[in-house]
Amino acid sequence: MTKIVTFGGGTGAPVIIQALLRAGFTDISCICASMDSGGKTGIIRSDERDQVIAISDLLRNLLALITSTNHQKNISAFTEMVSFIDGRQRNLGYTIYYALLEKYQNDFLKVQRHLENLLGVKFGGTAIPITTGSSNIYFQTQSGQVFRGEHELDKQSLSKNMITNVWLDPVVPATPEAIKAIKTADYLIFCPGSLYGSVLSNFLPLGVQEALATSKAHKIMITNLVSNRNQTHRFTPAQYLKIFQKYTGLTLTRDRGQNPFDTLVVPNLTKAQFNRRYSQVAAAYADEHAHFLGWPSAKFKKLTQKHIKVITSNTISITPQLNRLRHDPAKLAKVFKKIIK
């Protein structure tokens, strides 16, 4: 059976997971960051004096892994419960998950099996936190400012003060389950999402870069559809390559090394083409200092010179009322069927 590992969280990784399930793959290890300090998770971590990991991405990925078509009432009831927020901004689903983590002494795989039995469902893989150590992201910007916590990524999202570096404090080890999944994978997929918060942060715990260096997996990167002002503004494929080289530690030279990814999946429209075809959507994003991430073929030259395969495809879906762009899991499933053997 083909072993696939995804890196990411937020809204991006669940779409990739759903696309893989649609494509018929059911041995998926979904690795996600566990250092989030924003939203409901941030409130819980603050209340617990940062002594617990963030589980928001873990739970999102786990729900995306559900393959069962029966027990829909159970699944719907659990999803509704996960979403409920009380008057103190505490989330009921998170509270139950944290209680199960305590019951099973941070063994998230036992928690997953407990939820399978409770809901009568099957998961098409495992959801794995990159670390169970308590830590926070720190990042530095072009101006030299240093910020603590992933919630600051959100607060600074419209800032022109671009991020230049990110690290963890304290430094924590990666989970053995994440390391094993990376080393034994046939395919590694870097999901769209917050570049620093959801993806690159997974390479920061101890042991991850070493595992990536020994991995024989084919590595696939799926770029974001829309830029983020303080992270990917006017980003090019060459910049994606450079930043992934930095944080994965994978660099291809003439006599040694390897690329941080072997295949790049990008939209089949350039920014100019998208702006002409979907002017209302482009205008809505421009109000948020964001733009479509699509490039002419000349922009892929530096990657193809390093033998990175670039696949341009139509994977876009648009929410009509809100003019929001998303990757379409049904369209992505067709892409995965062609790439993953």
For residue 291, pLDDT beyond 90: yes
For residue 224, pLDDT beyond 90: yes
Q: Which helix (H) or strand (E) holds 190?
A: strand 187-190
How confident is the model at residue 103, as a pLDDT? 93
Residue of 6, 5, 3 lying closest to 193 (CA atoms): 6
Cβ count near 284 (within 10 Å): 15
Specify the 3-state DSSP secondary structure of 215. Answer: coil
Separation of alpha carbons 194 and 227, rounded Å: 9
For residue 311, pLDDT beyond 60: yes
Rg of the chain over all Cα atoms, to the nearest angstrom: 19
16 HSE (CA, 13 A, CB side): 28
How confident is the model at residue 54, as a pLDDT? 81
For the stretch 234-252, pLDDT in tens is 999 999 999 999 999 999 8
Separation of alpha carbons 112 and 86, rounded Å: 24
For residue 45, pLDDT beyond 50: no
The length of the chain is 341
How confident is the model at residue 53, as a pLDDT? 76
For residue 48, pLDDT beyond 80: no
Q: How confident is the model at residue 92 (pLDDT cuts 50, 70, 90)?
A: confident
Specify the 3-state DSSP secondary structure of 257. Answer: coil
Average pLDDT taken over every residue of the chain: 90
Domains by residue range for the chain, with CATH: 4-67+123-339 (3.40.50.10680)
> Quick check: 219 and 259 in contact, CB under 8 A?
yes
For residue 41, pLDDT beyond 60: no
How confident is the model at residue 75, as a pLDDT? 74
Separation of alpha carbons 36 and 239, rounded Å: 25
Percent of the chain with pLDDT over 90: 70
| 313-326 mean pLDDT | 90
For the stretch 256-288, pLDDT in tens is 689 999 999 999 999 999 999 999 999 999 999
